[in-house]
Structure 1
Amino acid sequence: MAEGNILVRLFRIKDLLPMTKGSIRITNSKTGNIVYEKENAFDISGRSEIISVVTIDRELSQEPYEESGNPYLLYNIEVKSEGYKDVIVEGVSVFDGITSIQDIEMEEASIESGEKNLQEEIIIQDQQGVEKSTENIEMGFSMAPFVLRNVYVPEFITVHLGSPTSYAENITVRFIDYIKNVASSEIYPTWPEEAIRANVYCQISFALNRVYTEWYRNMGYPFQVTNSTAYDQYFVKGRNIFENISKIVDEIFNEYIITIGNQTPFFAQYCNGTTVKCDGLSQWGTVDLAKAGMSALDIIKYYFGYDKVLVRAEYVEGVPESYPGYSLRIGDVNENVKVIQEQLNRVSKNFPAIPRIYPEDGRFGKETEDSVKVFQRVFNLTPDGVVGRATWYKISNIYVGVKRLAELNQEPEIGESGGNGGGIGKPEGDGKYPGYLLKYGARGEKVRELQGYLSEISKSYNIPNVSVDGIFGNGTKDAIIKFQRLFGLSTDGIVGLATWNKVFEVYKNIDNSNPGVPDNEFDGKYPGYLLKYGSRGEKVKEVQYYLASISNQIGIPTVAADGIFGNATREAVVAFQKLFALSLDGIIGQYTWNKILEVYNGMKY
C-alpha cells in the first residue's frame, strides 16, 4: 500500500507554548491495531517525529468520490502527559505522500476535582467537504450597503459551529488557521497545486466577503461565519491540516479575488461539481483544468469571468511591521533584518531550539540564516533560510502572540509548571528538619511542608509533582527517590536530615523567573578544555546543572550534579547532541557547551 505521514504538535497554547513531555499512541481507526507508540515522543519545540503510516494510493483521489471507499485512511491519536487530561483525536485522515499535522492543546487536570482520569475527545467526521452533497445558498454581496471602510485581513475570525439560527458553540481562531482548516476540510491535498491554489483563493475571498460586508453582524449575530456548508464553508473544530496546504495558505493568505472596478472581496461560491452543480467554481473541475495546464488565476477566470483579478490586502491585522516587498537573505544589511532578528530572539525564549542572534545589528549573516531555518522547520515552512512573505508574516504572528502571552503573565511553560500541574501556592513552614525520619505512611504538617517544597521544585526540575495533602504515600516516595537520584543522595525514598536539607536548599534557590540553578553560582564560560567521561570538577558540576534543568523540558536523561562525568552524564550529553544535530561523541567541546548554555538560558525567561 501507499504511505503517508503524521506529525503531532503538542502545546499548552497553540503555536505559543510548546509542551515537551508526552506519549503518543496511534491506532488504525478501522481495525484498532496500534501502528505507533512512544514515550517521550516530543522534542524541545513540542513536535513529534514524522510518523509513516500506510494509506490508499493517491490515484484514487484524482477522480470524484466513489462508493467503493475513501481515497485515504483514518487514524486515531492518543496523547498523554502527566498532570494533564488525556486527549484522543479520532478520524485523522492520511493521504498518500502527504504529511497530516495534528495540533493538540493540553488542559491541566485538576487534582482537587478528581479530573486526573478524564480525557478530551476530538472526533473528526469521516467526510471531506468535496464529498458532501449540499450547496452554498446564494447569500452574499458583490456590493453591500453596509461595509467596512477598507479591506483587511483580520487577525482572528469567529466561527459559529452550526447553521446561523442554531444553538451552537462560537469559537474564535486565527484567520490563517481558519483558512487552513477550511482548505483541509473541503478538498484533497493530493490535487495539483494550481487546483489547490484556485480553491484556496475562493475560500479566502468568501471569508473576507463575510468580514468586509459584516454579513452576520448586520443581522445581529455575534459571529462572522458559520461552518454550515448550506451557508458558508466547511470548518471542523480540532481537525488535522495538511502540510502542503498549510504552506500554500501561509504564502497567499492575504490575497483575494475582486471584480475589476470593485474593491469588495468577491463572494466566490463553489460546489463539488459532481453531486451538486452550481453557477460558481466546481471543485472537481479545478483538478481537470489544472492537469490541462491552467494556472490558479486562469481557473478562477474560467468559472467567474475574465473581469476577475487577484489583489493583496495592504493591512494585515496584528502584524507590527508589514512585509517590505522583497525577500531578506544572507548578505542583506538593513532595518528590516534587525526587525526579524529582534523578533526571532523573542520567539526563541518560548522555542529554545531556535538559535539566538547576537548582535541584533541588521546584518543578515550565517547566525541569522540558521535561526530562520530552525524557525521555518518548527513552523512547517520551507527551510531555505530566506525571509520571504510567508516567513515574514509567520515570524510576526508568533512574535505578537508570545509578547501578548507575556503581558498576560503566562510566559513559557518552561519554569511555569514543568508539565506537572500545580497551582497550590507557596508552601508554608520554617524549613527546619523535624528531628525524625519522614517515610512512607508518615502524616502531618511536616509532610505537608515537604510536599509543598517538592511541588515547587517539580516546576524547575525533572521530578514528579505531588499532592500537598500531608500524607506520605507512593507519590511522595517516588518524588523523593527521583530527587535523591538527581542530586546524588542515597535513593531510599526516606527523608532524613541530608535529604531534607537538600530539598530545602534547592527550594530556596529557585527563582520563578530563572528556574534551575542560580546564575551567581556559575559563570557560563567554556572551560577551555574538553569535558568527557572521567572528568571531574566544578565545570562538570556546572554543565550537569544545565543538563538537569534542560531535562525538565525535553527528553534527555536526568543527571546528578555531583561533579563526576560518568555514564549517566555521557548518556545525557549524547541525547542532547542527537536532539540538536551535533556530533554524537558524548564529549563536551566548545560547540556542545555553547548549545547547552544557549538552551538553558532560553529556559530562564
Structure 2
Amino acid sequence: MNQQNTSKGYLEFTVNIGDTLAPIDGATVEIFSKNGTKIETLSTDMNGKTETISLPAPKKELASDPNATVRPYALYDAIITKPGYMPQKVEVQILGDSKAVPETGLKENSHRFNQGMEVVRVGDHALFSGQNTSNNTENPYNIAAPLDIRSFYKPLADQSPYFLTTIQGIVIPEFVRVNMVTGPEDTVGTSIDVRFPEYIKTVLAGEIYGNWEPEAIKANVVAAVSYTLNRIYTKWYLLEGQGDFDVYNNTKDHCYKCKTGVTLQESINNIVDEFFTEYIGYPQDQFRYMPFLSQYCSGRETRCAASNKMEQWGSQELALSGMKYTDILKKYYGSNTEVQNASFFTVDDRMHFSDRELRPGESSQKIKTIKHQLNIIRTKYPGIPQLEETEIFDDNLLNAVHIFQREVEHIPVTDVIDKKTLYRITRKFISISKLVYTDRNNAYKSNKYYKVILYNGTSFCMSNIAYNPNVSISGFTYPNNIFVNILVCNIYSIVQI
C-alpha cells in the first residue's frame, strides 16, 4: 500500500458461542495481512470483545470516488481460536477512518479429532466489484386498487382492533423472511427469518461504505427500510405465487449475504439502530402511511436517477455537498417525498413505541420487564449488577444500563433507555434466555430453587417453584404442576432465587 495514500481504519471483534449472543471469554484473535504476516494478537474479554486496534487502510477520500481503480479498503484475515471450539478464519474489510465491528460465532467442538477450520470469506465490496446492480424494474406506483390501508396495520390488528383507528403509521415487524437462493436468477431456495434491523445492517454493509457521510448513510437506511417494509406488507411474492417469503437475498431485492459474508461497520450499525423505524410514505394522501417501494441502484454500472430512483454513489456526492438525508431522498424520489416514523417496532412479540424514551424516576411494568431482562443477560455478562425487579427506574437500573451500553454493546452512553438501547437489551435477552431454557432440566436437578415464570401471550401466569424432580415442596411437585400450566402458558424465564 502506497504510504502517501495510507490512512488508518479500526477493528473490534465480537466472538460469541455459535449463533447465540452469549460471549466467549478468552478467545484468541490473530490478525494477518494478506501476505501472511501476523500483525496483532488479541484476546476477547468477558463480554466477548477484543480491544479496538488501528490498521493501515486507504485514505477515506478514495471511498467517495466511483471511478477509483484501486480498492478503497484493505483486506485482512483474522484467525479465531478457543480450546473446545472449531477455529475460524474470517476475512475483514478495513476502510479509512471507519471502525469495522465483525461479530462471529464459534461452533462448539464436541469431538476429539480435528474438525478443520471454518472459513468466512468476504472478498471485494459490491461498490468496488459492481455486483450490487439492481434488477428491479417494477413500477412503484402500481398499487392494487382495492388495497386496504388496514392491511398495513396487521401486527396491531392481531392484538387489538382499537389501534386501527387511533394509531397513525405502521408497525416495524420483528423479522424479515428472506428466500436464500444461490444465483442471481434463482427463485427456489430456503427461507429464513432475520431480525429486521440486523437484515438492514447486513444489507447496507454490503452495499455502501461505512466511511461515507452520515447523511448519505441515513438516506440509504431509510430507502432500504421503506423498500423492505413495502415487500413485507404488500405480500408481493406470496400474491405473485412465488412463495411465502418477503424478499430474495439477491439483487431481485437486496443482496443479503449473496457472498459468504460482509464486514459490519459501526457507523452503519449505529444509524440503523436510530433510523430503522423511518420509511418513505407514498405521496398520495390516502396512501401516505404505506411504505414506498423505494428502488435504488449503485449509480455507476447502472444509472436510475432518471427513473426517480436513488443512486447510491450520488447520495454520497450530495451528502458531501452538505445536503441532509431528507433532501437527498426528495432529490431522487420527488419533492413531495415525506419520511414517516412507524408508531411501533416489535421485539420479542411485543410492541414498543418507537419515539418513547424511558427516564429515571418513571414507574411502569415495562421498566420491571427491562430489569428482568438485564438479570437474565447478566448470567452470561457478569459485569451487569443484579437488579431488584421493581417498576421504578432507579439509580441501580441507570448504572446497569450504562454498563450495558458502555461495556457490553459499545454504544453511546445515555441517561435514558432509548430505542437503540431497548432493542439491543431485548435482542440480547432473547438469545441468552434460550440458553437458560436449554439448561432448565439441569437446573431442576440441582439443590437450588428456581422461579419459573409463565406467559400466555397476553399476561403473566402463576409463577411456580421448581426443585428436584418428583420432590414435593409446599404442595408443588415437579413436573406435574408446571406442565399443566405450560399447556396454556409458555415458559417466559427461569430465575434462580
TM class by shorter chain equals: 0.7 to 0.9
Tell me which residue corresponds to 1:59.
61
Tell me which residue corresponds to 2:417.
387
Cα distance, 1:193 vs structure 2: 0.7
Tell me which residue corresponds to 2:291.
265
Task: Please say if residues 12 and 99 of structure 2, whose CA atoms lie closer than 8 Å, have aligned partners that are also in contact.
Answer: yes
Report the AA paired with residue 340 of structure 1: I
Pair 1:154 & 2:202 matched: no
Q: 1:350 aligns with which of 359, 377, 380?
A: 380
- Structure-to-structure mapping, 1:265-284, within 5 angstroms: 265-278=291-304, 279=307, 280-284=309-313
CA distance in 1 between counterparts of 2:429 and 2:364 reads 20
Cα distance, 1:170 vs structure 2: 4.3
Deviations 1:19-60 (A, max 9, x none): 22421111113x22111124xx11111111112211111111
Distance 1:129 1:228, change over 3 A: farther
Distance 1:215 1:410, change over 3 A: farther
- Structure-to-structure mapping, 1:68-107, within 5 angstroms: 69-90=70-91, 92-107=92-107
Q: Which one has the largest radius of gyration? A: 1
Cα distance, 1:381 vs structure 2: 2.0
Secondary structure of 2:14's aligned partner: strand
Q: Tell me which moved more, 245-254 or 388-397.
A: 388-397
Tell me which residue corresponds to 2:255.
234
Where structure 1 has 5 or more consecutive residues not aligned to the other structure, the ranges are 417-510, 521-601
Deviations 1:263-292 (A, max 9, x none): 331111111223321120011111222223
Report the AA paired with residue 371 of structure 1: A
Secondary structure of 2:279's aligned partner: strand
Pair 1:243 & 2:241 matched: no
Cα distance, 1:213 vs structure 2: 1.6
Report the AA paired with residue 77 of structure 2: N
Deviations 1:351-380 (A, max 9, x none): 2222222x3333333322221112113123
Task: Please say if residues 259 and 307 of structure 1, whose CA atoms lie closer than 8 Å, have aligned partners that are also in contact.
Answer: no
Task: Please say if residues 297 and 310 of structure 2, whose CA atoms lie closer than 8 Å, have aligned partners that are also in contact.
Answer: yes
Task: Please say if residues 194 and 294 of structure 1, whose CA atoms lie closer than 8 Å, have aligned partners that are also in contact.
Answer: yes
Q: 1:256 aligns with which of 257, 279, 294?
A: 279
Deviations 1:59-107 (A, max 9, x none): 111221411x1111011111112222111112x1111222111111121
Distance 1:164 1:375, change over 3 A: farther
Q: 2:125 aligns with which of 112, 124, 127?
A: 127
Tell me which residue corresponds to 2:203.
182
Distance 1:207 1:380, change over 3 A: farther
Task: Please say if residues 342 and 354 of structure 2, whose CA atoms lie closer than 8 Å, have aligned partners that are also in contact.
Answer: no
Tell me which residue corresponds to 1:296.
325
Tell me which residue corresponds to 1:310.
339
Secondary structure of 1:266's aligned partner: coil
CA distance in 2 between counterparts of 1:324 and 1:168 reads 33
Pair 1:361 & 2:387 matched: no
Task: Please say if residues 125 and 207 of structure 2, whose CA atoms lie closer than 8 Å, have aligned partners that are also in contact.
Answer: no
Task: Please say if residues 345 and 354 of structure 2, whose CA atoms lie closer than 8 Å, have aligned partners that are also in contact.
Answer: no
Deviations 1:456-488 (A, max 9, x none): xxxxxxxxxxxxxxxxxxxxxxxxxxxxxxxxx
Secondary structure of 2:54's aligned partner: strand
Q: Percent identity of the aligned residues? A: 29
Distance 1:604 1:117, change over 3 A: farther
Secondary structure of 2:85's aligned partner: coil
CA distance in 1 between counterparts of 2:378 and 2:496 reads 11
Tell me which residue corresponds to 1:4.
9
Tell me which residue corresponds to 1:485.
none
Task: Please say if residues 323 and 392 of structure 1, whose CA atoms lie closer than 8 Å, have aligned partners that are also in contact.
Answer: no
CA distance in 2 between counterparts of 1:337 and 1:325 reads 16
Q: Tell me which moved more, 332-341 or 70-79.
A: 332-341
Tell me which residue corresponds to 2:32.
27
Task: Please say if residues 89 and 117 of structure 2, whose CA atoms lie closer than 8 Å, have aligned partners that are also in contact.
Answer: yes
Cα distance, 1:214 vs structure 2: 1.6
Task: Please say if residues 130 and 283 of structure 1, whose CA atoms lie closer than 8 Å, have aligned partners that are also in contact.
Answer: no
Distance 1:513 1:47, change over 3 A: farther
Tell me which residue corresponds to 1:338.
368
CA distance in 2 between counterparts of 1:316 and 1:166 reads 30
Deviations 1:316-345 (A, max 9, x none): 333435137432334444444333323222
Task: Please say if residues 349 and 603 of structure 1, whose CA atoms lie closer than 8 Å, have aligned partners that are also in contact.
Answer: no
Task: Please say if residues 24 and 37 of structure 1, whose CA atoms lie closer than 8 Å, have aligned partners that are also in contact.
Answer: yes
Task: Please say if residues 164 and 226 of structure 1, whose CA atoms lie closer than 8 Å, have aligned partners that are also in contact.
Answer: no
Distance 1:55 1:312, change over 3 A: same
Tell me which residue corresponds to 1:18.
23
Task: Please say if residues 130 and 271 of structure 1, whose CA atoms lie closer than 8 Å, have aligned partners that are also in contact.
Answer: no
Report the AA paired with residue 176 of structure 2: I
Secondary structure of 1:18's aligned partner: coil
CA distance in 1 between counterparts of 2:337 and 2:215 reads 17
CA distance in 1 between counterparts of 2:25 and 2:177 reads 30
Task: Please say if residues 25 and 47 of structure 2, whose CA atoms lie closer than 8 Å, have aligned partners that are also in contact.
Answer: yes
Task: Please say if residues 345 and 353 of structure 2, whose CA atoms lie closer than 8 Å, have aligned partners that are also in contact.
Answer: no
Tell me which residue corresponds to 2:116.
118
Task: Please say if residues 72 and 96 of structure 1, whose CA atoms lie closer than 8 Å, have aligned partners that are also in contact.
Answer: yes
CA RMSD in angstroms, aligned pairs only? 2.9
Q: 1:36 aligns with which of 26, 34, 40?
A: 40
Secondary structure of 2:400's aligned partner: helix
Secondary structure of 1:53's aligned partner: strand
Distance 1:74 1:32, change over 3 A: same
Pair 1:194 & 2:183 matched: no
Where structure 2 has 5 or more consecutive residues not aligned to the other structure, the ranges are 1-5, 154-169, 450-493
Q: 1:205 aligns with which of 226, 248, 255?
A: 226
Deviations 1:100-144 (A, max 9, x none): 1111112122417x4x23221111131234652633321365424
Distance 1:217 1:351, change over 3 A: farther
CA distance in 2 between counterparts of 1:128 and 1:514 reads 52
Q: Tell me which moved more, 138-147 or 97-106.
A: 138-147
Report the AA paired with residue 174 of structure 2: E
- Structure-to-structure mapping, 1:498-537, within 5 angstroms: none
CA distance in 1 between counterparts of 2:212 and 2:367 reads 36
CA distance in 2 between counterparts of 1:363 and 1:119 reads 48
Task: Please say if residues 140 and 294 of structure 2, whose CA atoms lie closer than 8 Å, have aligned partners that are also in contact.
Answer: no
Secondary structure of 2:236's aligned partner: coil
Task: Please say if residues 345 and 351 of structure 2, whose CA atoms lie closer than 8 Å, have aligned partners that are also in contact.
Answer: no
CA distance in 2 between counterparts of 1:519 and 1:36 reads 44
CA distance in 2 between counterparts of 1:273 and 1:371 reads 45
Task: Please say if residues 15 and 24 of structure 2, whose CA atoms lie closer than 8 Å, have aligned partners that are also in contact.
Answer: yes
Distance 1:94 1:603, change over 3 A: farther
Deviations 1:195-225 (A, max 9, x none): 1100111111111111112222332335322
- Structure-to-structure mapping, 1:348-497, within 5 angstroms: 348-357=378-387, 359-377=388-406, 378-407=408-437, 409=438
Q: 2:353 aligns with which of 314, 320, 323?
A: 323
Task: Please say if residues 26 and 44 of structure 2, whose CA atoms lie closer than 8 Å, have aligned partners that are also in contact.
Answer: yes
Tell me which residue corresponds to 1:568.
none
Report the AA paired with residue 294 of structure 2: A
Cα distance, 1:303 vs structure 2: 0.7
Q: Tell me which moved more, 373-382 or 326-335.
A: 326-335
Cα distance, 1:183 vs structure 2: 1.1
